[in-house]
Structure 1
Amino acid sequence: MTILLTRPPRTAAALPDTARGPAAAQPAPRPATAEYCPFPLSPDPRRFGLTTSSMRLRGGTIVVRHGRRTASDTAMILLHGAAGSWTTWTPLLQAARAGTGFTDLIIPDLPGWGDSSLETDAGAPSIEATAGLVAEIAEALGYRRWQVLGHSMGGFIALELAASFVPQTESVGLVSATTYSVIDSVRHPVSRLGTLPAYTALLGMMRVLARFERAGTSLVRAFDRLRVLRPLTAPLFARVAAMHPSVISALATEVRPGRFAAASALAGRYDADAAWSRIRCPVRATRGDSDVFVANADTARLRRVIRDFTLHTLPGTGHFGHIESPGVTLRLLCPAPTSPPIRLSSAVNATTLK
């Protein structure tokens, strides 16, 4: 495995379901970012003190943004969802500037998404293989343990990471993780149509677009240029008219119909009960009160399988809590750093790890 590194200096109220489980993590001071969708997405990692590295791993080249290194051997890993990339977390990083901040960050573009390639004849890597790649990235960057935060599909992978790497995973945070209801919808699209109708409809559309490959992707981007994509994405957000244009454009840029369909198929074949019952760390989750990709029934099933699970419902929020309500999401899911950053040389390094 070859890693090319460039290292800069390291440097709203929610509704807790307290009746169903233990309280969430200790409350942090509320950041001054309570307004809806207060920040745009940013494509510049340097704004956040992050370095971009390319890692040649099995199946492709994975591009990772990382930095703000401290003396800790525990990383904070952020995993994006389908039709996303590392930039989906930049509103949360901006919210963190108003509060406790983030350190020891690892934010990969998952295989086949963002800037990461997918070079394998076997198709998309399995859920288990993707979680293994995430662990390999963290270990290659010198971390022995991690806390992981995942959105949507990234939450699914975060749970697998916690199940497969039990000693190394200290905590899991979920932002509208797609779990049991998505699995059921993929396995039984007709009989379970009423479970997540918006997801089932989106999956059907992605399967159609995937048949046209690049033409399907170009069509979505044309919708954005014609300014008709915003109303089409209305089910994803509580207040689509208030979403920053960068969020809508990112969906058009990052959409991969074939990858979306493949990821859904992998979820449909996944044995969630067997895997997630191995999780031993605390799992804290948020979902929006108007989230169309997370069903109410998911909570009880997750609580039955995961021994330490807590859910908070975010009012006035859809499927993208880390963008729509980043300050509240940060307060509920992200622990405060415990050690100050250590400044290192800003020299450019090229490192090969084997």
Structure 2
Amino acid sequence: MRAAYFRQTGEPEVIEVGEVPTPQPQSGQILVRVRVAAINPIDTYIRRGTAPMPLPQPVAITGTDFAGVVEAVGPDVSRFRVGDRVWGSNQGLLGRQGTCAEYVCVDQDWAYPIPEGVSEEQAAAAALVGITAHLGLFHRAHLQAGEWVFVNGGTGGVGSMVVQMAKAVGARVITTAGSPEKAALARELGADVVALYKQEDVANIIREATGGRGVHVWYETQPPTDLDRTVELTAPRGRIIVMAGRQARPVFPNGPFYVKNLSLFGFAMFNMTADEQRVCAEDINRWLANGQLRAIIGRRFPLQETAAAHRLQEENTLGKSGTLTGKIVIVIDS
């Protein structure tokens, strides 16, 4: 099978596209013919070596998210049959092979059915970012209807999911955008208030929207740098979510934090169990099927150009170039 892989960590140029052996499903695994894969920042960190993880040898196939069709099933598989359309995430991590390939073997516990009427492209693009958004909002913060949520970057991968999921359960959303065009898209996704962070005072906008009380859930998608401001703008008994910034060491405002009865939650998606993530997938499937959730596709690349896809992701994640809105998907020729 054809796959995009690397033999050693480094710049995007270490990615090669070529023939590798087609995997065979073991007990509890399904073999998926991949139609669409998706690129996430974690894929570039693993390839670069800044998120050290065990890598398959002699080559490591890149890619975390996938959507496709079950080609074969191994012994003891009970959740799926040949021909089922499935999606999932958590591949290309912790020694598992990735999804930028014609086939991938996946443990059945990490795969989910694609609902009727939902495209494989939407399922793949919503995978990691959707599960991440859901874990923060509901597993960690226990978001309730009527509460205010703040999230940075309402048109980004995770941010756009946070906006839509919060609205799906009846919460109110404040987010940021870097341009009027992105602000309009954030409102289209359901954001109640959008601040143009390059020219507006985000803190004042949050205060005005919440009547000075602050937000109930602060979902921080960026490496935190100013927890003083975050704590000030979070309502009493509010919850702060952090899920980015491996090297971030912000000053922690202990006094203001505890006198407001605040809670701080951190998580990494790949540390969460299959059962915890399946709860997310069930909601994601329902919202995708009924039109309450959609993934924004920023760019599409063929498998042959996976290195260019990594480069574009890095330019926006690390370089803050602002040239990407939404997700990057890899369309697998078959």
The alignment's TM-score, normalised by the length of structure 2, stands at 0.29
Q: Structure with the greater relative contact order (CA < 8 A, sep ≥ 6): 1 or 2?
A: 1
The alignment's TM-score, normalised by the length of structure 1, stands at 0.28
1 or 2, which has the higher helix percentage? Answer: 1
Structure ID, larger Rg? 2
